[in-house]
A = this chain, B = another copy of it.
């Protein structure tokens, strides 16, 4: 094991190449990560470096917990996402889950599994990307764990948040007749990934502006932190879910958990212009955008009685569009209405 002083300087390795995980020790890497993390807020009584972190809870709030991992070869490819993008996204996908509960994220634990041949400078970039998203979402990184990986790079994040009692947005809280809304646009991340996998991207061609926005959405999703908290606080939404696995999957899950069906209007879908353009070349942009994962928008149901609260919530969401795309039904089928005809909603995106 090298001393922290040896490794911290990121001097070249034995062959003039970057210093690798294999050249360093656990403590040196932990020290290197700790040095990048800003001072914890006052409610963090014990941060990184002890057996566990200790945090003062929000008074009167319930605790919210979620965990989500990004695994190399399953969720990302280092050819398509920079280390900073991977770190950013690892926090974003967890923040998105907290937002979908109507809750506010507070602290994160970071569990890293590091291949021997990863450069220490890549870990620095990963942590910087992660801290950028954490700062945007006002999340403090309070602890974690690092280990070597004999296989893929893994970034596993757990987030704890808080929510007021009776403000929780459950997937199961929808009812027949509720309108279904989705935030932002859909399909962009899937189109961005599809473009990254083309020959033109691999040979270094630049995407046009619309596709560039799609690529950016894939690499750095924007969790709807504010909207989620506002939907919970105002009680504008009943059921809510984030679109990690696509809109079709989200609709199916809310319907299944709420014991309803759903009808989605194809013409109403807020398909990202870049995704509509891209998917039109090879097939049906509606199906592709419904199936595409990684959007991290919020899908939520709004009872008739809550429409006033919804207008207030939209004002508070500061310019983020929300679009009515259909409704929950007492008929248990989950349908897509297109050109006046009904068809089954496509299946969601399958990472697995």
* Cβ-defined contact, A150 with B150, below 8 A: no
Q: Is A100 an interface residue (CB 8 A)?
A: yes
* Cβ-defined contact, B67 with A168, below 8 A: no
- From 42 to 85 in chain A, residues with beta carbon under 8 angstroms from any chain B beta carbon are 45-46, 49-57, 61-69, 71-75
* Cβ-defined contact, A143 with B55, below 8 A: no
* Cβ-defined contact, A147 with B71, below 8 A: yes
Docked pose: A113 CA to B62 CA in angstroms: 29
Which chain B residue shows the least CB distance to A67?
B109
Q: Main SS of the interface on chain A? A: strand
Docked pose: A146 CA to B29 CA in angstroms: 27
Contact-residue bracket for chain A: 35 or more
* Cβ-defined contact, B156 with A74, below 8 A: no
* Cβ-defined contact, A150 with B73, below 8 A: yes
Interface contacts beyond A51-B242, A52-B100: sample of 18 additional A-B pairs, CB < 8 Å, sorted by A: A49-B171, A49-B257, A50-B172, A50-B257, A51-B241, A52-B101, A53-B64, A54-B63, A54-B163, A55-B64, A56-B62, A65-B142, A65-B143, A67-B156, A69-B113, A71-B148, A74-B150, A151-B151
26 CB < 8 A contacts A-B: A45-B62, A45-B168, A49-B257, A50-B170, A50-B172, A51-B66, A51-B100, A51-B171, A52-B98, A53-B64, A53-B65, A57-B63, A65-B107, A65-B160, A67-B110, A68-B145, A69-B145, A71-B147, A72-B150, A74-B148, A74-B150, A146-B352, A147-B352, A149-B151, A150-B151, A151-B152
